[in-house]
Amino acid sequence: MADVNKRQRTDQDGTGDVGPSGAEPSIDVQSAMPRYYAKLFPHKHMAKWLAYGNDSKHAQADSHYFNRREFCFTLNGDIFVRYQAFKDAAAMQEAIQRRCPAKIDIGPVYSANPQDRHKFGAAFQPLERELVFDIDLTDYDDVRTCGSGGHICAKCWPLMAVAVKIIDAGLRSEFGFKHILWVYSGRRGVHCWVCDPSARQLSDEQRSSVANWFALYKGHEEGRAKVAFMGAILHPAVGRAAETLRTAWKESILPAQRLLEDGPKCDALLRYLPEEGLVEVIKKKWASRAVAARCEREDISLVRWEVLEAEVNGRLTEEKARSKGGGNYKVIGSLERCLNEIVIAHAYPRLDMEVSKKMNHLLKAPFCVHPKTGKVCVPLDPDTVDEFDPEGGVPTVASLLGELATAASAGATAAADEPWRATRMADAVRTFERCLLDGLSATNKEELAGRTRVAVAVGQMNLDF
């Protein structure tokens, strides 16, 4: 029997507050879930993903693979049900539609069916699980001026968008992963699922090492963020990330968050400069008539950043000339580093490290509905993540049911078992296919072919030509 616990409901990405505007969803989400799971949830696509080709009739397919996967249901009444497992896609669909969970979390693939775990004692162990990442806008509350807590809007979304681009690029270029799924959490964050066979088989120690690779942000100390890079010469991966950040910093983050307007955020940013004298010079330049006049016509934060950059680079040139090949390397290094440090400290991805470190950590499934906002956890395309609208651009259970009703009244037809194709859910599923399933299917076939070659090599099977 599954573990059932009563608890105060808290989501992986939230505390259960109302949405960013403070308004409740237009319909009761709980009452809409039976229709959502019956008509809109893409059960077949979810099962196809999590089977990794083992739902085929291939001789080397593991017919028990899917039913060793843990699912966790959060039921109405704050009932938390772990260690759910299903024989196949049909059994999963039946259970979801019958129990209508408020939330579905996905866990690892175990050595045995999770429902039979008590029979195996210490031998019951997780064998594989996607490498996952969780990034939450709450961790940027020291940067955001547009809101805090559960708030999300077009002004703070660029922090999530640049995090997606940096982590995605790093996973592909530094680690060679190919099958990466990004999902909007339904409220104020993003989740990442790395689905390559090599990623799914990583040990806890290896997962921790991968997560630590991206962990430049180390929290706060004495009013400023701690950034884990030493010296003026950046590692090439950090340098590439810094270039991406500098672009987003100037184009969206700095002006949207108004970080260099007078106030605590501005003072906090200036603390990253290595000399108090430099800070005073910059403040005087900001107060000059010429700069003040520009600020009346242009964005004040961008104008002041331009002045700050020019002063730092000018001081650096002076120090290098004064040193003549020697001199104060500490001062030169601090000046070379400080601009990147400012941008990285404010905008580099801030991971929830504990989510990534353990194979048996649960993470909310794609296509769930956030119980407070009513928003669907839709897949994201890293190539167009800047264009994503976390407010009006996300389908909700209410909007999808409305589209379904409109399609029905207009006589529109869709596959009887996939009525969601007549709604915006079709766009979300196409993103899921394009960004994950299509490429993953080829890899799954290669994996099965590899198992066949191994079986032939060890004499477990013969190939008849």
Tell me the domain boundaries of the chain. 4-213+351-457, 229-347
User: 13, 55, 136, 341: which one is catalytic?
Assistant: 136
Which residue ranges in the chain fall short of pLDDT 70? Answer: 1-26, 229-232, 325-327, 412-415, 460-465
| Domain 4-213+351-457: CATH architecture, name and number where available | Alpha-Beta Complex (3.90)
**pLDDT at residue 87, rounded to an integer:** 96
**pLDDT at residue 57, rounded to an integer:** 87
> Is residue 345 within 8 Å of 217, Cβ to Cβ?
yes
181 exposed, middle or buried (CB, 10 Å; 0-12, 13-18, 19+)?
buried
**pLDDT at residue 450, rounded to an integer:** 87
Which helix H or strand E contains 106, and what residues bound it? strand 103-110
3-state secondary structure of 218: strand
**pLDDT at residue 154, rounded to an integer:** 96
The residue assigned the tokens 């500490």 is: 330
Percent of the chain with pLDDT over 90: 75
Mean pLDDT of the chain: 90
Q: Is the pTM of this model over 0.85?
A: yes
The DSSP code for 57 is: -
**Strand partners of residue 132:** 193
Nearest to 255 by CA among 305, 195, 220: 305
Q: Alpha-carbon distance 422 to 378, whole Å?
A: 16
Per DSSP (E only), the strands in 335-434 are: 363-364, 379-380
**pLDDT at residue 367, rounded to an integer:** 98
User: 11, 13, 130, 134: which one is catalytic?
Assistant: 134
Active-site annotation holds for 319: no
**pLDDT at residue 329, rounded to an integer:** 72
User: 70, 311, 336, 341: which one is catalytic?
Assistant: 70
Q: Alpha-carbon distance 354 to 229, whole Å?
A: 21
Which amino acid belongs to residue 439?
G
**CA dihedral sign of residues 90, 95, 97, 103:** negative
The residue assigned the tokens 């030509």 is: 465
Active-site annotation holds for 70: yes
Active-site annotation holds for 136: yes
pLDDT in tens, 278-306: 999 999 999 999 999 999 999 999 999 99
Q: Alpha-carbon distance 396 to 375, whole Å?
A: 4
**pLDDT at residue 228, rounded to an integer:** 78
**pLDDT at residue 326, rounded to an integer:** 60
- Judging by DSSP bridges, how do beta strands 126-128 and 103-110 pair with one another? antiparallel
**pLDDT at residue 4, rounded to an integer:** 52
**pLDDT at residue 415, rounded to an integer:** 66
Backbone φ, ψ for residue 218 (5° rounding):
-120, 30
**pLDDT at residue 461, rounded to an integer:** 62
